[in-house]
A = this chain, B = another copy of it.
Amino acid sequence: MEFWKDYNGLGSEIEYVKNIIKENLSDSPLYMKDIINHILEAKGKFIRAALVIESASLGKSDFKRVAEIAAAIEILHLATLIHDDIIDEAIMRRGTESIQHRYGKDKAVVCGDYLFAKSFSLLSSDYQEHMKYLSKGVEKICLGEIYQQTNRFNTQLTVRQYLRTISGKTAALFAMCLYAGGLEAKLKKAQLKNLIRCGYAMGMSFQIIDDCLDYNGTDLTIGKSAKKDLLQGYYTLPLIYAIDNDQNEVLSEKLELLAEESFELDKIIQLVNQLDGVVKSKAVAEKYINRADKYLMLVDDKENIIKLRKLMQFLLKRNY
């Protein structure tokens, strides 16, 4: 898989997880086949599966079980992406046309529900101990999503409110992935607790970095995604910090005019950078990276956490 090609050792495991997903979805009836095939052809990064696999390596675990749990979590994640695309009216997802754009919003709603159910079916056969926190996790994801919608176009959005949104949107599932692996590795309660905290901090920094990348105007696609977020009123950390520094209200004025003068978008992105929005956000991401590392050290000895730490560095030290 492209994303993992320079990463030593996870490619085949993730390929295995992908095959479980394929098997589980390929028993769908004929009239669902087209949608399912479309989903399976997309290029997911399978980051959540990687998190489950590497945290399971903290102890003795049964890889077949770990891979099935990872598959269930990836199917769950996929369901949330399909529903997110309905809300965002996204045209593309994972390098291919989004379900909502290709098959319509109606089918996308039901297709997401179907994948939710598939994921829970998979878990309920042999992994019932995982169901409880994962269904709680989906609750958190939904709450994060609704919170985000409630705050659209809110130029008064605080850092605290932003962090609350991404806590549900991204960090909750990251934490749960590590917990899932840790549970399979039969870790002790105290270890699991620190693993959850580590995953949470990882998720927070991962999302902040993602939101910073949006304001790195160099890449065309990346620029596009920031613009889409802005037009839909999703204000992320770089923008919030920039508004804080916006003494002369140049940025605020531009934001107010956003709906009418969309050609000012480039200017907004430029201003966010000039007003130190990205620099300050990076500092917060760094804080979470350090926190994640601190908790990871509390989980186990240095030699044991080596794989998970390597994965963490790979995911968080992206060029930003």
Contact = CB atoms under 8 A, between A and B. Distances in A.
Given A110-B146, A146-B31, A117 B139 contact: yes
Contacts of A146: 31-32, 107, 110-111, 114
21 contacts: A29-B147, A31-B147, A31-B150, A32-B143, A32-B146, A83-B109, A86-B106, A87-B106, A87-B110, A111-B142, A112-B113, A113-B142, A114-B146, A116-B116, A116-B138, A118-B139, A121-B139, A124-B128, A124-B131, A124-B135, A128-B128
A80 B117 CA distance: 12
A254 interface: no
B87 A149 contact: no
B124 A143 contact: no
A138 B146 CA distance: 23
Contacts of A132: 121, 124-125
A106 B113 CA distance: 15
A309 interface: no
Nearest to A122: B135
Interface string A121-162: 100110010011001101101110111011000000000000
A120 interface: yes
> Which residue, of A86, A112, A120, A141, has the highest number of chain B Cβ atoms within 10 A?
A120
Interface in A35-65: none
Nearest to A136: B121
A105 interface: yes
A296 to B, nearest CB: 28
Given A132-B121, A135-B124, A149-B106, A114 B86 contact: no
A107 B138 contact: no
Nearest to A31: B150
A150 B141 CA distance: 30
A87 B116 contact: no
B113 A83 contact: yes
A170 to B, nearest CB: 15
Given A114-B143, A121-B132, 4 more contacts: A83-B109, A109-B112, A117-B142, A120-B138
